[in-house]
Structure 1
Amino acid sequence: MPANVQTMAYYGEKPWHGLGKEVPKGVTAEEMIRAAGLNWEVELRPARGARKINRKGEFSRYEIVRVPRPGTKETEVLFGVVSRRYQPLQNIEAFGFFDLIVGERKAYFETAGALGEGERIWVMARMPDAMKIVSGDECFKYLLLSNTHSGEGSVIVKFTMVRVVCQNTLMLAMDDGQKAYRVRHSRQMQFKLNELADFLSITQEIFLKAEEQFRKMVKIQMTGTRLNDYLEAVYPRTDNQKKKGETPARWKHVHEVFENSDDLQLPGVCGTLWGAYNAITGFEDYKEPQQEELPDQRLDRIWFGSGADIKMKALFKATELANAWN
């Protein structure tokens, strides 16, 4: 598949990058795995030059190898080298953590796929009902799970939302300030992942609190210097820029999105803190200049990388300002 989004399946509207295999609503985890081309496993094998370190026959280092699927012409792929403490999470196990909510029709799979050669996989499940922040501006609620097979990074479950009118992704946070539920690839991983059922049980509460926060933002008009004050909090100027009175390029781009994007001119959105927050998320998703950025790189950036971090920071700062200006 082109653009290095290796494999993908989706329900509903075709993704912005135009890639993937369409599936009907309500597919099972097994069906989604097969449609997304994720029905493969990884193995741990002693790394070249590794030595046995104990009587259990354990080696000092291991290679993470993607195993070819039976009946295919695939070749093995080396994802990385890890210590003996590393514990892989197979794709079928990753999907299994959604069984609780998907099986009871509390959610359904919407997208799943692999980036690169499969070193990162993701599963995205949509919750029922949309948030209506103002009339004509709805947000779909999602849980996003990501797993890496490279030896770098954790198993991550995030709360996200997607604004219907423009498809920008909003990141949500839990009350304790964490950006996501994270579990390291260790021998204690299974125990930690067993707690995920309790984590999923609070999803509705998280989304209700987020909706309350967003409606507070709607009430705040960005009069005077408020927009620049907000941008200073999210994209702080350097001392040199302050001294020279320079306006950062990002500020200019966000101003343009805030003032000219059709979706941010909706009644109730236009001129508000909610509109300013969405101007930043829209800029990070679509406008942030990236030289020769491929679709998989953009997806990784806005869900897990620098774009996700900025959007989370924008949410924290907007919440603080909404409380201060209310």
Structure 2
Amino acid sequence: MAAIFFGGYIPSLQYHRLRTSSLSLYSPYPDTAPAPWDSLGIELNHPKTAREALEIAGLNYTIVKKPLGLKTGLNQEAYATLRTDTGDILGVVGERYEPVQNIDAFAFFDPLIAEDEAIYETAGVLGKGERIWILAKLPGFMKIHGNDIVNKYLLLTNSHDGSSQVQVRITPIRVVCNNTLTAALQGEGDIAISHRVDTVRYLKQAFTILGLSNSLYAQLDVVFNTMASRKITEQQLRNYVQALIPDNEESENTARTEKIRTSVLQLHDSGHGSSLAKGTAWGAFNSVAEYTDHLMSDEHSSTQLNSIWFGRGEQLKAKAFDLAQRMLM
């Protein structure tokens, strides 16, 4: 996957790796499925800075670290991360952990906004505030097989439960269906980012991110279009779904597994945007994405969205992307 990670345990300099994910905000297609984050995000009116965006969305709360009087597995003092406005405990961390405050977390990205290289569009929160996110749109879009539009976004996140550092995720958006796509790409690399740097360094870091993002999107354009050109038979589709969702040998009841496979096959034939991709590797991949985002879970939307971006849903789509790429060989 490709994601750029920032911030975290060492307050000055971090090394991070690139990963991709995806989501969608709006669509010109009248029958588009609702996005899983519709009820969780606040639409922004082109704020000039991340700080302004978070203030508009009510996400400018602060985090403090308080000792719990316990020892971790490494015999270190355990601390709770506490949201000061509500008193909610968001996680348990070690003594070296230093929270990155929301209003400071995404300042590295502001130079791209100032240069019209991106727009802050939506901001939201997961759980009780364990993780916040901002969706930023990049200029332009991809055309898959002529008329299947995929917009280009970056997802910026900051967590307070110790589960991750500040992240930037490449987020391609298939407009017709509001599927969130996850894709493993070649050319992943490490970059160094610091939150405590001067304006010149911030500018350099921001455009490093932009360069990496553009490179990854160029790769995705080629891969997605190749998938859309790769015709597959009904049997190849069934083999793909079987490999993606195999029988659980330890379970006597395989009815649920078979139901999932049937749902994916049905989405390939009649899901949102199926007329643009049916009978191709691209269609097979997107049928899995639609199942994951819209049918896999009936949990609270925040829990579902966390799975789609960071949990089981993301893992299933990463596997689906890998299997779809194998069809191209």
Does the alignment reach a TM-score above 0.5? Answer: yes
> In structure 2, what residue type is equivalent to 1:35?
I
Choose the corresponding residue for 2:261, options 251, 256, 271: 251
Per the TM alignment, residue 270 of structure 1 is displaced from its structure 2 partner at its CA by 2.2
Distance in 1 (alpha carbons) for counterparts of 2:292 and 2:115: 35
Q: Does 1:30 align with 2:51?
A: yes
Determine whether 1:67 maps to 2:84: yes
Q: Give the TM-score normalised by the residue count of structure 2.
A: 0.77
The CA deviation string for residues 189-237 of structure 1, in whole angstroms up to 9 with x for no partner, is: 758x989643442111100110100111111111152112222332233
Checking the alignment, whether the CA contact within 8 Å between 1:231 and 1:251 is kept in structure 2 is yes
Q: Which residue of the partner structure matches residue 274 of structure 2?
A: 264
Q: Which amino acid aligns with 1:254?
A: V
Which has the bigger relative contact order, CA under 8 A and spacing at least 6?
2
What is the rounded CA distance, in whole Å, between the counterparts of 1:252 and 1:115 in structure 2? Answer: 31
Partner deviation per Cα, 1:85-131 (whole Å, 9 max, x = no partner) = 11211112222132132221111112211122211111211111111
Q: Does 1:316 align with 2:322?
A: yes
After superposition, residues 193-272 of structure 1 pair within 5 angstroms as: 197=206, 198-239=208-249, 248-266=258-276, 269-272=277-280
Partner amino acid for 1:49? G
8 A contact 2:45–2:121 mirrored in 1: no
Evaluate the alpha carbon distance shift between residue 12 and residue 283 of structure 1 in structure 2; reply closer, same or farther with a 3 A threshold: closer
Q: Name structure 1 gaps, 5 residues minimum.
A: 1-9, 52-58, 69-74
Q: Indicate if the aligned counterparts of 1:11 and 1:24 stay in contact, CA closer than 8 A.
A: no
Cα pair distance change 1:239/1:79, threshold 3 Å = closer
Secondary structure of the structure 2 residue equivalent to 1:43? strand
Per the TM alignment, residue 321 of structure 1 is displaced from its structure 2 partner at its CA by: 1.6
2:314 is paired with a residue whose SS is helix
Distance of 2:127 and 2:257 partners within structure 1: 37
**Structure 2 equivalent of residue 40 of structure 1:** 61
Question: What residue in structure 2 maps to residue 306 of structure 1?
Answer: 312
SS of the residue aligned with 1:278? helix
Rg larger in structure: 1
Question: 1:274 matched to which residue of 2?
Answer: 282
Q: Matched residues in 2 for 1:11 and 1:132: separation? A: 17
Q: Secondary structure at the match of 2:269?
A: helix
Cα gap change, 1:95 to 1:177, in 2 (>3 Å): closer
Distance 2:152 2:182 in 1: 10
Which of 129, 132, 147 is the matching residue for 1:136?
147
Do the aligned partners of 1:113 and 1:121 also contact (CA within 8 Å) in 2?
A: yes
- Describe the SS at the equivalent of 1:225: helix
Provide structure 2 residue ranges, at least 5 long, that are not aligned to the other structure. 1-23, 28-33
Number of aligned residue pairs: 289
In structure 1, what is the Cα distance between the partners aligned to 2:257 and 2:70?
A: 54
Deviation, 1:280, is: 0.7
Task: Quote the Cα distance in structure 2 between the aligned partners of 1:81 and 1:270.
Answer: 46
Give the whole-Å Cα distance in 1 for the aligned partners of 2:257 and 2:94. Answer: 47
Match of 2:20 in 1: none
Aligned counterparts of 1:15 and 1:264: Cα–Cα separation in 2: 17
| Equivalent position of 1:287 in the other structure | 295
Which residue of 91, 104, 108 maps to 1:97? 108
For the Cα contact (< 8 Å) 2:240–2:323, is it kept in 1?
yes
**CA 1:20–1:213 in 2, change beyond 3 Å: closer, same or farther?**
closer
Q: Which amino acid aligns with 2:43?
A: E
Indicate the residue corresponding to 2:93 in structure 1: 82
Q: 1:275 to 1:50 in 2, by over 3 A?
A: closer
Instruction: State the one-letter code of the partner of 1:250.
Output: I
Decide which moves more: 194-203 or 302-311.
194-203
The change in CA–CA distance for 1:42 and 1:220 in structure 2 (over 3 A counts) is same
1:137-176 equivalences under 5 Å are 137-176=148-187
| Alpha-carbon shift at residue 26 of structure 1 (Å) | 4.8
2: CA distance, partners of 1:49 / 1:321: 54
